[in-house]
Every structure is written in structure tokens, then in C-alpha cells.
Amino acid sequence: MASEKTKRKHSICMVSDFFYPNMGGVEGHIFQLSQCLLERGHKVVVITHMYNQRNGVRFMTNGLKVYYIPVVPFYNQCILPTILTTLPIIRDILIREQITLVHGHSAFSALAEETLYHAKLLGIKIVYTDHSLFGFADLSSILTNKLLECGMSISDHVICVSNTCRENTFLRANIQDPRKISVIPNAVDSSIFTPDPDAAPKDRIVIVVVSRLVYRKGTDLLVGIIPEICKKYSEVDFLIAGNGPKMVLIEEAKERHKLHDRITLLGSIPNQNVRNCLVKGHIFLNTSLTEAFCIAILEAASCGLQVVSTKVGGIPEILPDSMITLCTPSIPDLIQKVEISIQRIKSGDRIKSLEMHNEIKNMYNWRDVAKRTERVYDMVADSKSENSLIEAILKFRRCGYIGFFVITFVFLANFFLLMIVEYFNPRDKIDLAPDVSNYGRRKSKTHNLD
Amino acid sequence: MGKIDVKPSVNRQNSWTKKLYIKQSYDDNYVDEKTFLELKRINVNARLYTYWEAVLYSGLIVQQLSTVIIFVLIYVYLRSDLIKIENLVLFFVVPLVGIGYLSKVIVLKHKCSQIQSDLGNIIKFVLFTYGISPIVNSLTESISSDTIHALTTFMLIFNILFYDYDSSEATIASKTFSFNAALFACVCLASRFEKSSFHTFILLILAFVLFALFPEYRRYSEEHYPHSIPIFTITCFFICLIMMINLKLWLYIFYLCLVCFIISFVCPLILIKLQSKKKTIHGPWDEALIQT
């Protein structure tokens, strides 16, 4: 514990449009990372926009303080990007909580992007995590990439969840030095995702699918293989959890091929039930068409399931070949690989689920992620970068002529707004919030830090 | 199988691998020169055009533009009584439809029953249009002519912008939208004939012929006989040019320069100059296409 005392303590502010009560990869990542950073003695607050009635300050596990700022979501759970309007409240929070480091999450989050500009003006260091892959071809990606490029040019360090994601972000955001990007994978909470060999039926083989039923997650592929597999193997059932616009396709297939007793559609299930759903099966099937990391695969493997997945994005990086079966995104290949897995289960020639669980536990855990993220924080905090308006504007130069002009204009307008806010609500008039995080933990020294 | 053959949890070898499950003795921001961006591909499906190819296909735009102008000119001439409505029907609409349909019958080798059902459809359609033309005729009585002309202009511009020129997956193109825009413009114009609803009726029929049947006819023949593209282009262009003779000289020259020169010769030149800068980036991050 002696070395823990001398370690640097950061005041970190996580910002993203996506947070609890929403559920998904980014949301889980922010929550778990925050918890582990709190555990390591840092101060963490989270800023997100309001969710229906959930507005104001809330406290979550271990005193994680969450600001639900009163801005309504506009499109796809994101706020309307205006940059200027969020300045007063974000500035207030950043000063009140004595934040030394802002950590934005997800390239799609408008709130995170806006907070970057505010933090830059307030002289706070910036780290950004990109969770997703994005193409280059269509109009929306050109626009998003330009915005990302502007945001990335002022952030001190970027974190990506896989090597593929890093290459993508490197090209997308036109970052000059790839060493500015670190790869820190996601992890899985192995204490929740434990195997339970008795939960799965002994005489049947159940294939589990847990994903949103949308085009990007490959529901069209899923619909293609279900009837074929059901026809060939009378002992195979499907268990599908998740909801989405493509659910109709599966229901149609169910009707057409009279598979009512073979396919169970659970609809969308709450996060805490995912594990109980996973352990009911033998094989986990992922048919995504694009994926930066795919936590769902880790969760399934941690529960000891055989994993069959399409070979896209960052998926080939996350598990050794002995634990995952990869295939091309085509119906014949998927069927073939699923058949191999079925044969393997029948013959009993498979890794024991407990063995798999322990292996995953060694490979991925959130504490390790937090430790590596902390290293990034230390590096950023140590870097002596000159922090002035001119320097920030000079950094925008590589966003192209139009991008430079627009973003500089917005940035300067933001600066003048900051002056106005500073005049009406001076910095020294803002109450400083006491640090209540880790309150329970500090009291009870017996808490096991693992 | 049956055992997990993972390498030891700390990789003692010096080489970095692109795997996330191995704890490696490298920094998180280590960049491996060998593997970084090795899967990046540039211009995988990019198609490069030659100059004359581009000129040839720019003819499709000239065709549609000319069609729109011909339609507007017919309206203008009808309004100012420069052409008689009987002459228009006898020497333009009926021969156009007749020749078009005859060639279709010959090329596709239609059976008698097919022709019968086609004729039935035509009669139904003509009678229906004839029935509603009095309603259309008085539809916009209370609206000023300026508004109507402005609306028509916008709608015809939309028709040209959204027209599905090469039936490819271009995101902006929409057959339905462009046809509806043209029809809207036609209803606007047709409702300006206070004198007789017969004029309205003929203009509606003409709009269907020019904006619904003619494009399909062109598309079919251009797909099956690529040599017909320049024929259609030149025909449309010259009909349009001849019809413009009665107009002011500067309009005439403007059209000649705009259509004949800029669209057909200058724009392809710009395309050829710019396409060397074409750079599409592909890699493992792209959304996979479902292989069939």
C-alpha cells in the first residue's frame, strides 16, 4: 500500500452521451473503467445528458458521481451538437469538481466532442477513447470523420479498443503520429459471467445469439442459416435474445419453416440476465458485419460456450484460435463452421467450460484495463504541452481549409462565450465539491483490493 | 483439441503480435512498422473512365434536359397559340406513341393477347385522364401565375437532379421522386389553360409520354443497344434546338453553350483530370458484405 500512497491521483471526468440507463458496450466500458479507477484511488465523475426523468446528480456504486445535464437527446441518443450551449454547465462542473483530465468516449457522441473544446479552453488535458469502426465512403462518414479529426487534433492522447480500431482511427482522424494512439482492449467482468454446466440441457444442443437484431449485426445471415441447421440437426435449438427492426425476418422464418418449438425469441433482455441466458446454451453465434471489439464474444467465452463468429473488424484479435471458430460472412461457411462446433459438442471434444472461464479471467479483466489507462493518464499529465489559444488554433490547421475555418470560428466564439461566462460567474465564486468517492472504502480498510 | 494452446500469458519473444489476449512486453502505444496498416487497400473497386466514355454517358443528361425543355416549350407555344392543339396531337403525340409502341412490339415479339391488354390499359388511362382534366383545369385558378411558374421551375430542376440516369446505386437518384416532381410540374402548367380542358388533357398525356414512357424506352434500348445513346442524344438535342428557334437569340446561345459544350465536353474533361486523385480506402474495418 505504501507505493499506492505516492502514486499520482487524477481527477478524471468521463464524458459520453452513452451511459446508464442505456445499455451497451460503451456504457459498460465507462462504468467498469470508472469503478476500477475509483478503486485505484482516483476521483472520477461522469457527465452524460439527461435520460427522461433522470436529470441532475446521481450517485452510483462506490460513490461514482454522475451528472445528467439537462440537455435532451436529439438523434440516436446524442445531443444536438451546438458546442456553445453546453459551455456554461460543463465549465461549472469541471471547475467544481477540480477536474485535471477529461476522458471522452465514443466518436459518435456529440457531448464528448463538445466537452473536448470546453476542456481545451479551460486548459485541461484530454484523452479520447474510440469504440467503433467507421467507413470512409458515404456522406455521413465524411462528416463524422471531419468532426472527429477536429476533435482529435486537440486531444492529448487517443485510446482504441483494438488494433484494427487503431488503424481505422488513425486514418479517419488523420492523426500524424500513430504513437499518439494506445490500444487498450475492453474486458469482461468474469465474476459475473461464470459457467454453469448444469443449466444447459443435456440431450439437446442450444445455439445462443445475443445481439441487437439489425443489419450491422448480421441478422440477415442469421436468418439464412437457422432453417438449414434446424433441418439438418433435429437436436439443435436456437435461443435468440435481442430486439430490433430485423426481428420480423426471424419471426417470418419461424412461421415459414414451422420452427415454433425450435426457436425461442426472448426479445431484449436486461443486462443482468444476459449471463443466465448464455449459460442455457452450448454454442454462441455472432454474425456481425462490423465490430471493433465485441464484448459479447468475451462474455460468452467466459461462460464457457463454444464461440462461432464472422471474421470481421477486430474480432480475430480477441481470442486464440482454440477458443473461437472464425468464418467468412457467408451463409455456407457459417453453416459449415456451426456444424463443426455441433460435431465437437457431440463427440465431447471441447475445452471444459471452467477451463475456458479461467483462461478468459487471465486474459481480460477491468483492473488491468484501468491500470493501463492510468499509465496513459500519467503520460498525458506529465507531457509539457504549451496550452494557449493560438496553439490550439494552429493544431486545427490540418483539418483542411474549410474545416480549419469553421472550427476556428466556433472555437473563438466559444472562447468569447467563456469570457462572458467568466465575467458573470467568476471562477472563484464556484463552490468546490468535496470528494465523496471511495467513502465507504476508505472507512473499511478491510476491503479486499485484490 | 480439448486443451487450450495459448502461449504463456507474458510473451517473452521479442516480436510483437497483433493479438489482444496476449500480455506483451510492449507499450500500449507501440507501433509495429511491419503490421501497421498492412491490410489497408486503396481503390479496390474504383472504376476509371476514359474521356470519350465520359462524353458518351454525359449524353444521358443532355437527353433528360432536352426532354424537359421540349415539354416546357410545348406549353409555351400552346399558351401563345403558336401551335394548334390538333397539330400537336396529330403530328407529335400520336406518332411518337405509335412509333414507340410499334418498335417495342417488334423487338420484344409481343403476342396478340399482350397487345390487347396493352391497348385496354391505354384506353383506360386515356379515358381516366380525360375525366380528370376538367378538375385539373380549374385546380389552381386562385393561385398567381408567378407562383405556378416558380413551382414548376423547382419541380423540373428536381426532376433533372434526382433522375435515375444509369440505374445504379447512386444514393441521390430516385425514379419515383423525379417522376412525381415532373408530374407535379405538369399539373401546375396544365391547370393554367383557362380556355379548354382539352389542352389540359393533352398536356397531361404528353407529360406521361415524356416523363414516364420515354425514359423507360430510352433506358431499355440503351441497355441493350449501347450504340443508341448518341442517336438519342443528338435527336433530343436537335429537336430541342429547332423548337427554340422562335425564342430569343441569347437563350438559344445559352442553351447551346450550356448543354452542348459544358455538360458534354467540359465536365468529362474535369472528371478525367480529377479521377487521378481518386482514393478510396478499404480495410478490415469496412462493413463486410454478405457473400452469396
* pLDDT for residue A443: 52
Nearest by CB to B20, from A179, A218, A318: name it: A318
| DSSP code string of A92-135 | HHHHHTT-SEEEEE-TT-HHHHHHHHHHHHTT-EEEEEE-----
Residue B273 counted as domain residue: no
Q: How far is B150 from chain A (nearest CA, A)?
A: 30
Q: Round to the nearest angstrom and report the end-to-end CA distance of chain A.
A: 12
Cβ-defined contact of B31 to A312 (cutoff 8 Å): no
Find the length of chain A.
450
Q: At what angle do helices B175-190 and B112-137 cross, to 10 degrees?
A: 50
How many structural domains does chain B have? Answer: 1
Residues of A in contact with B2 (CB under 8 A): 349-351
A145-160 tens-digit pLDDT: 898 998 898 899 999 9
* pLDDT for residue A135: 83
A290: Cα separation from own chain's centroid: 14
Phi and psi torsions of B225, nearest 5°: -130, 85
Residue B14 has pLDDT above 60, yes or no: yes
Put simply, whether A326 touches B (Cβ < 8 Å) is no
Cβ-defined contact of B29 to A183 (cutoff 8 Å): yes
Residues of A in contact with B287 (CB under 8 A): 135, 216, 289-290
Residue B5 has pLDDT above 70, yes or no: no
A103 strand-pairing partners: A14, A127
Residues of B in contact with A350 (CB under 8 A): 1-2
Put simply, whether A164 touches B (Cβ < 8 Å) is yes
* pLDDT for residue A3: 46
Residue B49 counted as domain residue: no
Select from A296, A288, A450, A278 the least CA-distant residue to A353: A278
The sign one gets for the Cα dihedral A303, A212, A159, B5 is positive
* pLDDT for residue A439: 61
Residue B169 has pLDDT above 70, yes or no: no
Q: Which candidate in B28, B171, B280 is best for mutational testing of the A interface (most A CBs within 10 A)?
A: B28
DSSP state of B210: I
Joined together, the cell numbers standing for residue A338 give 456451426
Q: Return the SS3 of A247.
A: helix
Nearest by CB to A322, from B5, B19, B290: name it: B5
B241-259 tens-digit pLDDT: 888 887 777 777 787 777 7
Put simply, whether A268 touches B (Cβ < 8 Å) is no
CB atoms within 10 A of CB A32: 19
> What's the CA gap between A221 and A228, in Å, rounded?
12
* pLDDT for residue B8: 47
Three state DSSP letters for B142-194: CCCHHHHHHHHHHHHHHHHHHCCCCCCCCCCCCHHHHHHHHHHHHHHHHCCCC
Residue B24 counted as domain residue: no
Contact A300, A284 (CB under 8 A): yes
Put simply, whether A310 touches B (Cβ < 8 Å) is yes
Contact A48, A16 (CB under 8 A): yes
Quote the percentage of chain B above a pLDDT of 70: 93
Cβ-defined contact of B2 to A350 (cutoff 8 Å): yes
Nearest by CB to B287, from A163, A221, A289: name it: A289
Report, as ranges of residue numbers, the positions in chain A whose pLDDT lies below 50: 1-5, 444-450
A279-302 tens-digit pLDDT: 999 999 999 999 999 899 999 999
Q: Name the average pLDDT for chain B.
A: 86
Residue B256 counted as domain residue: no
Q: Return the SS3 of A78.
A: strand
Q: What is the ipTM of this complex?
A: 0.79
Cβ-defined contact of A329 to B2 (cutoff 8 Å): no
Cβ-defined contact of B285 to A221 (cutoff 8 Å): no
Nearest by CB to A317, from B18, B280, B292: name it: B18
CA angle B218, B223, B225 (to 5 degrees): 90
Q: Do the bridges between strand A64-69 and strand B23-24 make them parallel or antiparallel, or are there none, so unpaired?
A: unpaired
- State which residue of chain B sits closest to A180, comparing Cα positions: B29
Put simply, whether A156 touches B (Cβ < 8 Å) is no
Residue B12 has pLDDT above 70, yes or no: no
Nearest by CB to B291, from A171, A328, A376: name it: A328
Q: Do the bridges between strand A101-105 and strand B23-24 make them parallel or antiparallel, or are there none, so unpaired?
A: unpaired
B206-238 tens-digit pLDDT: 999 999 999 989 888 888 888 889 999 999 988
Q: Return the SS3 of A401.
A: helix
Q: Which candidate in A129, A131, A136, A356 is best for mutational testing of the B interface (most B CBs within 10 A)?
A: A136
Put simply, whether A324 touches B (Cβ < 8 Å) is no
Nearest by CB to A317, from B19, B29, B283: name it: B19
Residues of B in contact with A183 (CB under 8 A): 20, 28-29
> What's the CA gap between A409 and A405, in Å, rounded?
6
CB atoms within 10 A of CB B8: 9
Provide the number of CB pairs (under 8 Å) joining chain A to chain B: 119
Residue B189 has pLDDT above 80, yes or no: yes
Residue B168 has pLDDT above 90, yes or no: no
Q: Which candidate in A129, A144, A167 is best for mutational testing of the B interface (most B CBs within 10 A)?
A: A167
Residue B177 counted as domain residue: yes
Structural domains present in chain A: 9-187+367-443 (3.40.50.2000), 205-363 (3.40.50.2000)
* pLDDT for residue B13: 56
Cβ-defined contact of A312 to B29 (cutoff 8 Å): no
Contact B187, B180 (CB under 8 A): no
Range B106-119 average pLDDT: 88
Residue with the bigger pLDDT between A16 and B192: it is: A16
| Containing structural domain, residue B114 | 66-224
Residues of A in contact with B35 (CB under 8 A): 163
Residue B252 counted as domain residue: no
- State which residue of chain B sits closest to A320, comparing Cα positions: B6
Residues of B in contact with A363 (CB under 8 A): 6, 9, 21
Q: Which candidate in A128, A363, A367, A379 is best for mutational testing of the B interface (most B CBs within 10 A)?
A: A363
* pLDDT for residue A440: 58
Residues contacting residue A428 through CB under 8 Å, at least 6 positions apart: none
Contacts for A90-93: CB closer than 8 Å, 24+ residues apart: A90/A47, A90/A114, A90/A115, A90/A118, A91/A118, A91/A122, A91/A418, A91/A421, A92/A425, A92/A430, A93/A13, A93/A45, A93/A47, A93/A67, A93/A69
Cβ-defined contact of A330 to B290 (cutoff 8 Å): yes
* pLDDT for residue B232: 92
Put simply, whether B169 touches A (Cβ < 8 Å) is no
Flag the least confident range among B60-69, B261-270, B278-287. B278-287
Contact B188, B155 (CB under 8 A): yes
CB atoms within 10 A of CB A3: 6
Put simply, whether A322 touches B (Cβ < 8 Å) is yes
